[in-house]
Amino acid sequence: MTALLEVSGLSVSFDGFRAINNLSFSIGPAELRAIIGPNGAGKTTFMDIVTGKTRPDTGSVTFGERSISLLGMNEARIAREGIGRKFQRPTVFEDQTVTDNLILALKAPRSPWRVLGWRPKAPDMARVQALAEEVGLGDHLARKSGELSHGQKQWLEIAMLLAQEPKLLLVDEPAAGMTPAEREQTTTLLVSLAKTRAVVVVEHDMDFVRRLNCRVTVLHEGSVLAEGSLDHVTQNAQVINVYLGRG
Amino acid sequence: MTASSSLPKYPTGGAGGVKPPAANASRSFIARNPSVLIFLLALAAFTIIVTIASEAYGVGFISTSFVKTLGKTLCLCLVALAMDLIWGYAGILSLGHMAFFALGGYMIGMWLMYARTEEIVVAALAQGGLPATPEEVTQGIATQIFGVVGSSDLPVIWSFAHSLPLQLILALAVPGLLALIFGWLAFRSRVTGVYLSILTQAMTLALALYLFQNDSGLRGNNGLSGLQNLPGLGDTSQDLVSVWFFWASALALGVGYLVLASVVSGKFGSVIRAIRDDEARVRFLGYPVEGYKLFLFTLTAIIAAIAGALYYPQAGIINPAELAPIASIYLAVWVAIGGRGRLYGAVIGAALVSLVSSWFTSGQVPSIPLGFATIHWVDWWLVLLGAAFVGVTLFAPKGIGGLFDRFQGIATPDRKGAALGPDDGSLQEREAQE
């Protein structure tokens, strides 16, 4: 199995502080991976680099079957390559309807000229309807997304990510602020999504990671400390020392 | 999407009920945007009324100078539409669009002045008996136009001034290229918000200062004048010309409105409103945000240039003061008072404020003696305008256009500070209509 995302020798510093230090990491095309680590371990910086928000000082990031380099691409270009990102806080376009939000996310040409001429066709609207039903918003298509509850916005954002049809999904602390029932649903969703694409979950919550039942990468001070099943890494002496031991 | 079928279902809650129609996409453009039809009908009716009331084609109820004022107002409405597109819809507060408006005017003014002067020079030389050589004619034109700035050579930038088609192309190309280059530099560096506004102010100020110089090639602070006289139509009365320009302005406004309404009603409008509300999120959806901004900046600059090219032949004169930073700020004030994020709001704001402004500054409004001081409206009008702007911003962020929501019963629920979008001055479209 060749890697979908391959990161090697990555380093970046902010004002002398090494946020990422010679990090190497890879993930396959249909894999669920959890990244854990204490605060300041470089989890968010890692996501920022992959999505093009931050430029690394050294190292390489390659993506896809043809192993194209993501460095030097802007955020929009990387998103079009097939990397989706879910933020911690639900971010939907509150002034627009659920339908508009989903149409914005639908996989379609993104350039201004092409968008000017784009009109929704029957398959597009059917897809929007299907996606909305998928996340329980089938009856709310015409509503402004700003009127939705917090949970509904969360699900709308997930539907928007699905509409993008990404090959790699980066999910930032999905369990934060969720009820136990919602966590259960989110776990099921992430596991089922990872059957057809790569999903990287950055998470603090050990219980949540245990439920995902997947390979775990432990970051510490910007590099990989340990990798393997959760049980494997939790027995690693170094991991216990820097991370688990504190809690 | 094989995984879809196995996704967990979100508890729908409530009794499933009747599903809304999958899309309103099948309904016609006019049906989805009744305001477009209403606007076009109102504009057509207004044009007919003014024509019937004009001195040239009707009863002479409206003076020729007022027909010109109305025609100019329509041009201001068109540039306000452009401002609304870039500010109200895309959230880019450009305070430099009147520079593009004036540049369009300068470009068309060059041809008007050149061709008109050519007629005069040829006629004058013909008095001498011998037919004039082309060199003599060119020299005569240059002396006529540039004598006032102490020069007798035609600057290089006037190379195409003899040709109407070429100068018309320049009227679009010069402002368009300036906007493209300025926008490219500004947007690729991700300059946003108030910093971009300041940059655009600097742009229009720099351009004005340059044009104020005598050797700028555009007659310094004298500007271009006599633009109301159409070359080849010296015998035609201004009564007729004024109505023709009024028609052209009305046509341009109508076409502009229709084009912009179709631009903002589709997915493109959805993308630019999304950029206004959260541009980082739009980037992560894969849209080239900077490309959209550049596209909009250039498009609106060209629309402003068209409006300017129609405005200045009616005004008769253009000088660098037209590019003063305050002119572009007025434009923003018109759009804010009319109502951002809705096209008819921009038109109403521009028409109302510019007409009221020309009434107050015309000296026809009686002064108010207060004993200790007298309020002369020519001076005090700006204070009134400023107060109106502050009042609208504080108490009616939706502007005059917000009144139409009241009529239609579209309520904006008081969210106690939790706005639907970050920009609560913009139209929160059709919210809570059901």
In-domain check, residue A229: yes
In-domain check, residue B315: yes
pTM of the model: 0.88
Among chain A residues, CA nearest to B4:
A134
Which among A117, A149, A164 is the end of a domain?
A164
Question: Domain containing A223: what range?
Answer: 1-82+166-247
The reported pLDDT for the residue numbered B172 is 96
- Does residue A8 sit in the same domain as residue A74? yes
- Does residue A76 sit in the same domain as residue A1? yes
Give me the residues of chain A with pLDDT under 50, please: 247
In-domain check, residue B13: no
Window 263-292 of B: residues touching A by CB (8 A cutoff) are 263, 266-268, 270-271, 273-274, 277-278, 280-289, 291-292
- Does residue A114 sit in the same domain as residue A150? yes
Question: Domain containing B156: what range?
Answer: 38-324
What whole-number percentage of chain B has pLDDT above 70? 88
Among chain B residues, CA nearest to A130:
B4
pLDDT digits (tens, 9 = 90+) for B212-230: 998 888 999 999 999 998 9
Domain count, chain A: 2
CB atoms within 10 A of CB B232: 9
The reported pLDDT for the residue numbered B420 is 42
Within an 8 Å CB–CB cutoff, is residue B300 touching chain A? no
Which among A113, A146, A164 is the end of a domain?
A164
- CA quadruple B219, B224, B229, B233: dihedral, nearest 10: 60
Q: What is the mean pLDDT of residues B99-104?
A: 97
Residue A128: name the closest of A91, A157, A95, A99 by CA.
A99
Q: What is the largest CA-CA distance in chain A?
A: 59
B293 CA to chain A: closest CA distance, Å? 9
In-domain check, residue B311: yes
Which among A105, A134, A164 is the end of a domain?
A164
Of B11, B13, B277, the CB nearest to A95: B277
In-domain check, residue B251: yes
- Does residue A150 sit in the same domain as residue A119? yes
- Does residue A184 sit in the same domain as residue A245? yes
- Alpha carbons within 13 A on the beta-carbon side of B170: 20
Q: Which residues of B touch A152 (CB under 8 A)?
A: 10
pLDDT digits (tens, 9 = 90+) for B257-316: 999 999 998 899 999 999 998 898 999 999 999 999 999 999 999 999 999 999 999 999
Check CB contact under 8 Å for A185 and B10. Answer: yes
pLDDT digits (tens, 9 = 90+) for B158-185: 999 999 999 999 999 999 999 999 999 9
In angstroms, the CA B424 to CA B410 distance is 15
Q: Which residues of B touch A129 (CB under 8 A)?
A: 22
Q: Which residues of A touch B425 (CB under 8 A)?
A: none
Task: Give, for A120, the enclosing helix (H) or strand (E).
Answer: none
Token representation of residue B15: 């009794």
pLDDT tier for residue B394 given thresholds of 50, 70 and 90? confident
- Does residue A27 sit in the same domain as residue A45? yes
pLDDT digits (tens, 9 = 90+) for B423-433: 444 444 444 33
